[in-house]
Amino acid sequence: MGGVTDDVWANLTDRFVEGAYATVKGRVRTYVLHHHLMDHLPPPPAAVLDVGGGAGHQSFPLARLGYEVVLLDSSEGMLSAAEQRLAAESADVRKRVRLVLGRGEDAPSLTQGRRFAAVLCHGVLMYLPEPASMIESLSACTAADGVVSVMALNAATLAVRPALEHRWNDAQAAFHARSERGVLGLDTRADTVEELSSTFADHGVRPLAWYGVWLFTDWLTLDADEDELTTIAEVELEASRRDPYRHLSRVFHLVGRR
């Protein structure tokens, strides 16, 4: 375990883990990102570092496929939830997962300088004042020819939510904004694909591909059975790879190679 940081997620863990990830929107995120990753990750048992990995919703499925996973998170509450979820996995999966407490910016030292075949950082950059420090850390943890995967808030679509909620003055302001109050009540910061791709390149990571995430499901309140959920997720996956749909997504997924 690394050093403890202020745990702003302590009071949000249940709402995030049991609420957000259990919704249609949350399950679509996991599905869409997983399929993107499968297009770029080397085969198991490659080692994966999940920075800001929360309760393991994205990386535990990789461990089930045979990947070796190190999940690093700055929140004791989130890691406790990850530990509880991990306890329900098989012994083979549990032995492939290691949980580490600490900041993503400190990942190189917390992982003792180890280099990983893939480094994930999904839904973290939006809570940081700027992305460069984290991208530098992710790159430092990535092996040569390894994959870096980040999911960030899309600065190009900040006006959509307030407009759909008939908050027209907020929508007008959002055309020029780079931040907003997120659905969990925390302030979030947005990036563009072009700027984040440039930051990748500045730290030795060559952008490979980018995708949209949450086009339709982010703007709707949905309740679906398993069959409908599968169809929704497949529609979102298709939209995530196509223009102009991916440009309109709430968040985007950028993948690069070191």
pLDDT of residue 8: 64
DSSP characters over the chain: -------TTTTTHHIIIIIGGGSHHHHHHHHHHHHHHHTTSPPTT-EEEEET-TTSTTTHHHHHTT-EEEEEES-HHHHHHHHHHHHTS-HHHHTTEEEEES-GGGHHHHTTT--EEEEEEES-GGGSS-SHHHHHHHHHTEEEEEEEEEEEEBGGGTTHHHHHTT-HHHHHHHTT-SEEE-TTS-EEE-B-HHHHHHHHHHTT-EEEEEEEE-SSGGGS-----HHHHHHHHHHHHHHHTSTTGGGG-SEEEEEEE-
222 contact partners, CB below 8 Å, separation of at least 6: 23, 24, 25, 232
The count of residues in the chain is 258
Burial of 16 (0-12, 13-18, 19+ CB in 10 A): buried
- Give the integer Cα–Cα distance in Å for 66 and 60: 10
In angstroms, the CA 218 to CA 28 distance is 10
Question: pTM here?
Answer: 0.91
**Which pLDDT does position 186 carry in this prediction?**
79
Give the separation between CA 1 and CA 76, rounded to whole angstroms: 10
> pLDDT (tens digit, 0 to 9) for every residue of the chain, 258 residues total?
233 345 666 666 666 666 566 787 888 999 999 999 999 999 999 999 999 999 999 999 999 999 999 999 999 999 999 999 999 999 999 999 999 999 999 999 999 999 999 999 999 999 999 999 999 999 999 999 999 999 999 999 999 999 999 999 999 999 999 998 876 677 899 999 999 999 999 999 999 999 999 899 887 777 778 888 899 999 999 999 999 999 999 999 999 999
Structure tokens at 189: 């910061």
Residue 54 CA to residue 69 CA, distance in Å, equals 13
Amino acid symbol at 160: V
Would you say 191 and 134 are in contact if contact means Cβ atoms under 8 Å apart? Answer: no
Task: Quote the pLDDT of residue 1.
Answer: 29
- CA atoms within 13 A of residue 79's CA, in its CB half-sphere: 22
